[in-house]
Amino acid sequence: MDDHVERAKGAITNALVIHTGILARKADRIYIEDVNGKRYTDFTSGLATTNIGHNHPAVVRAIKRQAEDLIHSGCIFYYEPLLLLAERMREVTPPGLDMFFFANSGAEAIEGAMKLARFSTGRQGIVAFTGGFHGRTFGSMSLTTSSMRYRRSYQPFVPSVYHSPYPYCFRCFFGQRPGTCSMDCYSHLERLFKHLIPPDEVACVVIEPVLGEGGYVVPPKEFLKRLRELCDRWNILMIFDEVQAGMGRTGKWFASEHFGVVPDIMTVAKGIASGMPLSAIASRREIMEKWPKGAHGTTFGGNPVSCAAAIATIETIKLEGLLEKALLTGEHAMKRLRGMQERFPSIGDVRGLGLMIGIEFVREGDLPDTEGLRKVMDFCLEKGLILIECGVDKNIIRLAPPLVVKTEEMDAGLDIMEDALKAVYGV
């Protein structure tokens, strides 16, 4: 065992999963270098976060400059990066979502969004979706059902949270197939309102517009549209958790744009500040204004250095045309992966938007092939390609490289994956 893994064992809780044994020294764009000088390609973007690439010079510059001027406010005074970031965010968030609360992490944004929904509606109920991941704090964990391992032994959860199946068509909860589907996932919500909680007691519905940790699943457009109508009918706030799908990951600023649906509240984190801790709750003025002074707060949220990194991130996405690039590179990758799917029966499904692509591994009868995927990922890591899995059975590769990845770099990564498939499945 490597010395650093031993050292970690003696000092860092076992609960924290570090996905590879790499001891990283530095990073640049899509590459990570370890302490021995070995170079890896990171197709995880540090868990879907360094969308503009690791250590982008514009971000590094912004951090250095801001750190020299002002590192902390603790809500004692205003500072220019906070105001400027809100103005920049307003230019890219869905129409009407023009007021913000800045926090530190995805989970914290979800907590705040839940509080805002309950406060502004005076209602208690929260509906989330089975398979969703929203964080590890008590409120966000109460919504999280992507795997039992995030919930085991933490009962009781926040009360009045209800779950309905996420529209995961490849593994439909209702056994339906695309084409003959009658949207039972939607009807289930109506049943929930008849049997478990009346809709006029529901504050909000919280959903990832593209499922992240739960399996990189793209829901049918129709589902999100009907969900929007349902929320409108009952004055329920629709919350999109764009923590993973946002900030250009799907080739649009936010995944909601692919569906033509605008939520009432949106949570953003991960890609917002290229790795600096920052998150945001975005909502309409009339909702945010229901929160009186002091109803919510933070010491570190919206930290000046993180805000400066976020401003540089937004400018870089625009300057380098990264949304368009993500769409093009994503399309190219999907085409190649679909070709591989035809040759390798162990690839059961390839799905995604932009550079948020899920590759689901199966064995006979579409059963999850967790072991095969593990072997493929180990092979890739050995060859210098870092991948990460998702899904309750850990049988889905989430392909989420930085949006700056070039077509030839994408191809080099996919070549390694193809070699891995040949080595593991012998086709």
Q: Is 213 in the site for ligand PLP (CB under 6 A)?
A: yes
Q: What is the chain's Cα-based Rg? A: 21
Among 31, 40, 43, 133, binds ligand PLP (CB under 6 A): 133
Kindly state the helix (H) or strand (E) to which residue 385 belongs, with its residue range.
strand 385-386
Residue nearest to ligand PLP (CB): 106
**Exposure class string for 64-93: b at 16+ Cβ within 10 A, else e:** eebeeeeeebeeeeebebbeebbebbeebb
Angle between helices 221-234 and 184-195 (to 10 degrees): 20
Q: Which range in 81-89, 175-183, 208-216, 402-410 contacts ligand PLP by CB under 6 A?
A: 208-216
Secondary structure letter of residue 162 according to DSSP:
E
Contact 117, 103 (CB under 8 A): no
Q: Is 330 in the site for ligand PLP (CB under 6 A)?
A: no
Q: Is 352 in the site for ligand PLP (CB under 6 A)?
A: no
Task: Give CA angle at 366 (365, 368), nearest 5°.
Answer: 125
Nearer to ligand PLP by Cβ, of 81 and 212: the residue is 212
Nearer to ligand PLP by Cβ, of 206 and 312: the residue is 206
Residue count (the chain): 427
Phi then psi dihedrals of residue 380, to 5 deg: -60, -45
Written as six digits, the tokens of 413 are 């990564």
CB of residue 106 to ligand PLP, shortest distance in Å: 2
Q: Is 42 in the site for ligand PLP (CB under 6 A)?
A: no
The rounded distance, in Å, linking the Cα atoms of 263 and 386 is: 34
Q: Is 369 in the site for ligand PLP (CB under 6 A)?
A: no
Q: Where are the beta strands (DSSP E) in 81-180?
A: 99-103, 125-130, 161-165
Q: Is 266 in the site for ligand PLP (CB under 6 A)?
A: no
Site string for ligand PLP, 77-106 (x = CB under 6 A): ----------------------------xx
Q: Is 45 in the site for ligand PLP (CB under 6 A)?
A: no
Q: Which range in 130-138, 170-178, 355-363, 396-404 contacts ligand PLP by CB under 6 A?
A: 130-138
Q: Is 256 in the site for ligand PLP (CB under 6 A)?
A: no
Nearer to ligand PLP by Cβ, of 224 and 347: the residue is 224
Q: Which range in 59-67, 90-98, 206-214, 319-327 contacts ligand PLP by CB under 6 A?
A: 206-214
Nearer to ligand PLP by Cβ, of 166 and 379: the residue is 166
Among 241, 349, 360, 409, binds ligand PLP (CB under 6 A): 241
Q: Is 216 in the site for ligand PLP (CB under 6 A)?
A: no
Contacts of 195 (CB under 8 A, 6+ apart): none
Q: Which range in 3-11, 127-135, 158-166, 393-401 contacts ligand PLP by CB under 6 A?
A: 127-135
The rounded distance, in Å, linking the Cα atoms of 290 and 249 is: 31
Q: Is 275 in the site for ligand PLP (CB under 6 A)?
A: no
Among 125, 167, 199, 212, binds ligand PLP (CB under 6 A): 212
CB of residue 109 to ligand PLP, shortest distance in Å: 7
Residue type, 54: H
Closest Cα partner for 114 from 265, 269, 247, 261? 265
Q: Is 243 in the site for ligand PLP (CB under 6 A)?
A: yes
Contacts of 329 (CB under 8 A, 6+ apart): 355, 403, 405, 406, 407, 410
Nearer to ligand PLP by Cβ, of 125 and 135: the residue is 135
Q: Is 129 in the site for ligand PLP (CB under 6 A)?
A: no
Nearer to ligand PLP by Cβ, of 241 and 389: the residue is 241
CB of residue 259 to ligand PLP, shortest distance in Å: 16
CB-count burial class (<10 Å; 0-12, 13-18, 19+) for 154:
exposed
Kindly state the helix (H) or strand (E) to which residue 34 belongs, with its residue range.
strand 31-34
Among 82, 202, 218, 269, binds ligand PLP (CB under 6 A): 269
Among 134, 171, 249, 258, binds ligand PLP (CB under 6 A): 134
Q: Which range in 59-67, 111-119, 205-213, 287-295 contacts ligand PLP by CB under 6 A?
A: 205-213
Task: Give CA angle at 231 (48, 184), nearest 5°.
Answer: 80
Kindly state the helix (H) or strand (E) to which residue 28 belongs, with its residue range.
strand 24-28
Q: Is 278 in the site for ligand PLP (CB under 6 A)?
A: no
Q: Where are the beta strands (DSSP E) in 157-278?
A: 161-165, 202-207, 237-241, 265-268
Half-sphere exposure of 301 (CA within 13 A, CB side): 19
Q: Binding residues for ligand PLP, per CB under 6 A?
A: 105-107, 110, 133-135, 208, 212-213, 241, 243-244, 269
